[in-house]
Amino acid sequence: MKDEQLRRTWKQDAEGVKHDILMVAMAEFAEHGLAGARIDEIAEKTKTSKRMIYYYFGDKDGLYLAALEAAYTRVRAGEEDIDIEGLGPRDAMGAVIRFTFEHHRAHPELIRMVMNENVNHAAYLKKSEFLRDLNLRTLKRVERILARGQDDGVFRKDVDALMLHWQIQAQSFYNVSNRPSFSTKFGEELFSDEGQNVMRETIVDSVLTYLTCKAG
């Protein structure tokens, strides 16, 4: 009877079932990597079956790629909610930096999956044109804000958008990726709510100071 009820759920809410599978898969792949994550465990935590997971995603590799795409889609969707055109260049850039920092902090599974991708030489990122296009969109947003600030005389002219994007991502990424080792060496103070608020605003200030200072 239970299996029959599950099958009815799959048919009635296929998108909801796929979403639940992807949310659990993200956490499992982030925690255990592609090799260590188990489809049995994902199926158990979603109250579905291995057969249904394979039906939706093909195989374990397909599920991993779909989970990676879902993790990136979530962060990019949040970025696009920022009204960069309705803000001045400084405020728009600050909003992007704050969002990046807070999203990475709130969703460490994305950072851990990216760390796994780097260990594996970005094998799955290379397979996905969807991810390439998605990540180029966020770079284009930074380019638009930067160009507007340069045109208005607010930002210095010699800043490269790709380098700036790297700088923003790197600081927010390190805050999550290196928390275990950093806090072991120096304590948890920086990772308290107060410490993280100070860290976020320090990063915003450092990037905006770089953008608005005169080139040496």
Alpha carbon of 60 to those of 23, 119, 126, 174: distances in Å?
15, 18, 17, 29
- The residue from 41, 58, 75 where one domain ends is 58
pLDDT band at 13 (very low <50, low <70, confident <90, very high): low
Whether 109 and 194 map to the same domain: the answer is: yes
What was the pLDDT predicted at 77? 86
How far apart, in whole angstroms, are the C-alpha atoms of residue 28 and residue 33?
Answer: 7
Whether 90 and 109 map to the same domain: the answer is: yes
8 pLDDT higher than 70: no
What pLDDT, in 10s, does the model give residues 36-80?
Answer: 999 999 999 987 888 889 999 999 999 999 999 999 998 888 888
17 pLDDT higher than 90: no
In eight-state DSSP terms, residue 190 is G
- The residue from 12, 28, 58 where one domain ends is 58
**pTM of the complete model:** 0.87
DSSP for 33-85 reads: HHHH--HHHHHHHHT--HHHHHHHHSSHHHHHHHHHHHHHHHHHHHHHTS-GG
Whether 175 and 89 map to the same domain: the answer is: yes
Alpha carbon of 42 to those of 6, 20, 73, 150, 198: distances in Å?
15, 10, 21, 48, 37
What pLDDT, in 10s, does the model give residues 106-123?
Answer: 999 999 999 999 998 999
- What would the mean pLDDT of 23-40 be, rounded to a whole number? 93
CATH number, domain with residue 70? 1.10.357.10
Range of the domain at 81: 65-212
- What would the mean pLDDT of 75-88 be, rounded to a whole number? 89
Torsion angles phi and psi, residue 157, rounded to 5: -85, -20
